[in-house]
Amino acid sequence: MRFYNNSVIGLEADSKEIRAVELKGTRKKPVIAALGSISIPEGIVRDGRILDIDKFNVYLQKLIEQNGFKAREVVIGVNNQDVIVRFATFPKVPQDKIRNMIRFQAQDYIPIPLEELQLDYVVLGEEGNDSGAGLNVLLVGARKKMLNDFIEAVSKSNLTITEIDSTMLALGRAALLESNDGNFALITFNNDIGNIMIFNNGFLAIARTVSFSNTLLNQPDFEDAEDTLDAISDILLGEVRTSVNYFRSQTYQDVARFCILGTSTYQNAVAEKLSLATGLSFEVLEPYKKLEESISKGKGKAFNLFGYVAAISLALRGLED
C-alpha cells in the first residue's frame, strides 16, 4: 500500500555518495525543504547495493542532521542489477483479474525464481493481434535480499520507508516532463550504473542496465577523472548503439532525440563525448529548473540540481496529488 505525505524525502545512493531531497506540498506545487549529499568511503555501497548496513546508517544520519531534514517518511530509489525489468504481453482480462494473472505468468519472462523477488508491474497499453487482444505490461522485480538491506539501513536512522522505487524509472518520469511525444532515448548514469531507456510516444519501449564497476576495477592504470570519463562514455556508447538498433529492428522507427541525466560531475562531458563519437546531439535535461530557482531565492545563493534529479522524482512520488 502506498502512503502519501505532505513532506517526504527522496533518497538514493551509489558507491561514492548518498543524495537526498525533502519536498513538501503537493506533486503539482512541490517546494524543496532540504537537500544534500554526503561522500561515503569505499566499501559501503557497490554497484547500487549496500554492503555495510551499519556504516551506511552512520553516514545517512550525518546527511540528515547536517542538512536540516525534518521529514521522517522516505521514498528510496534502487538502481542495480538486482532490479529486473522485462516487457511482457499477457491476454486481456478484466481489471480485477490482472494482478493474479501476472503473478501466475510472470515467471515465463523473468529468469529468477519469483519467490526471491518483490514484483510490481505497470500496464503500458493494449494491442491486437491474430490471437486476440493483449495487454502490454512492464514487469519490475527486485531481489528481496537487496531490498531488505536498504530497509534495515534506513530504518536504523528512525526513518519510515513509504515506498521503494526504481531509480531508473524515476529518472524516466523526470525526462517525460520535458519530452512526452515522439521517440527519444534517455541515457542516465551515476558513479556505478548506467541505464538506457527508449520511449515511444511517452511509453517506455526499451530499458537496459549496465554496471561500470568491472571495467573501472579492471583498469588500475586510470590516472585521473578523464580516464574514468572516457571509460564510462565508451560503455554508454555501446549500450546506446545496441538499444537503438534493437528498437529500429522491432518498430521500424528511428530515434529522433537523445537525452542525458547523470551525475553533476560528468553529465555535460559525457554528452559532449557521445556527440563527438556519433555526430548526434545529446541534450542534458533540466526537468526541475523551476525548483532550482525557488530554492536559490530561499537560500540566497545559486543551487545546481543536476545531481538531485532522481531524488526529487522519488520524493514527488510520495507527495499527494
In what side-by-side order are the strands of the sheet with 193-200?
A: 203-211, 193-200, 183-189, 257-261, 282-284
Buried b (16+ CB within 10 A) or exposed e, 203-241: ebbbbbbbbbeeebeeeeeeeeeeebbebbbebbbebbe
Q: Is 134 exposed, middle or buried (0-12, 13-18, 19+ CB in 10 A)?
A: middle
Question: Comparing C-alpha atoms, which of 190, 183, 166, 174 is closest to residue 243?
Answer: 183
Provide the grid cell at 200: 515511444
In this structure, are residues 10 and 313 in contact, taking their beta carbons and an 8 Å threshold? Answer: yes
How confident is the model over 161-167, as a mean pLDDT?
96
What size, in residues, is the chain?
321
In this structure, are residues 11 and 43 in contact, taking their beta carbons and an 8 Å threshold? Answer: no
In a domain? residue 48:
no
Q: Do 208 and 272 fall into the same domain? A: yes
Distance of CA 152 to the CA centre of its chain: 21
In a domain? residue 265:
yes
Quick check: 78 pLDDT over 60?
A: yes
Q: Do 119 and 203 fall into the same domain? A: no
Note the helical H segments in the chain.
53-66, 98-105, 144-155, 167-176, 213-217, 225-251, 267-278, 289-299, 309-318
Q: Do 188 and 97 fall into the same domain? A: no
Q: What angle do CA 176, 260, 251 make, to 5 degrees?
A: 65
Quick check: 102 pLDDT over 90?
A: yes
Give the span between the Cα atoms of 38 and 42, in whole angstroms. 13
Which pLDDT value is given to residue 289? Answer: 87
In a domain? residue 226:
yes
Total count of domains within the chain: 2
Q: Do 183 and 280 fall into the same domain? A: yes
Which residue in the block uniquely carries the three cell numbers 547523470? Answer: 262
Q: Do 183 and 281 fall into the same domain? A: yes
Cα-flanking dihedrals φ and ψ of residue 254, to 5°?
-105, 165
In a domain? residue 190:
yes
Q: Crossing angle of helices 267-278/225-251, nearest 10°?
A: 60
In a domain? residue 31:
no
Q: Do 279 and 183 fall into the same domain? A: yes
Q: Do 103 and 189 fall into the same domain? A: no
The CATH number that applies at residue 111 is 3.30.1490.300
How confident is the model over 148-155, as a mean pLDDT?
96
**10 Å Cβ neighbour count for 89?**
15
The CATH number that applies at residue 264 is 3.30.420.40
Q: What angle do CA 79, 3, 315 make, to 5 degrees?
A: 45
- The pTM for the full model equals 0.91
Question: Which H, E and C letters describe 191-253, residue by residue?
Answer: CCEEEEEEEECCEEEEEEEEECHHHHHCCCCCCCHHHHHHHHHHHHHHHHHHHHHHHHHHHCC
What is the enclosing helix (H) or strand (E) of 39?
strand 30-39
Note the pLDDT tens digit of each residue in 182-192. 899 999 999 99
Q: Do 129 and 212 fall into the same domain? A: no
Q: Do 137 and 191 fall into the same domain? A: no
How confident is the model over 156-171, as a mean pLDDT?
95
Domain that holds residue 106: 83-142
In a domain? residue 17:
no
In this structure, are residues 205 and 199 in contact, taking their beta carbons and an 8 Å threshold? Answer: yes
Quick check: 41 pLDDT over 50?
A: yes
Position 131 confidence tier, pLDDT thresholds 50, 70, 90 = low
In a domain? residue 134:
yes
In a domain? residue 108:
yes
Note the pLDDT tens digit of each residue in 266-309. 899 999 999 999 999 999 999 998 887 766 455 544 456 888 99
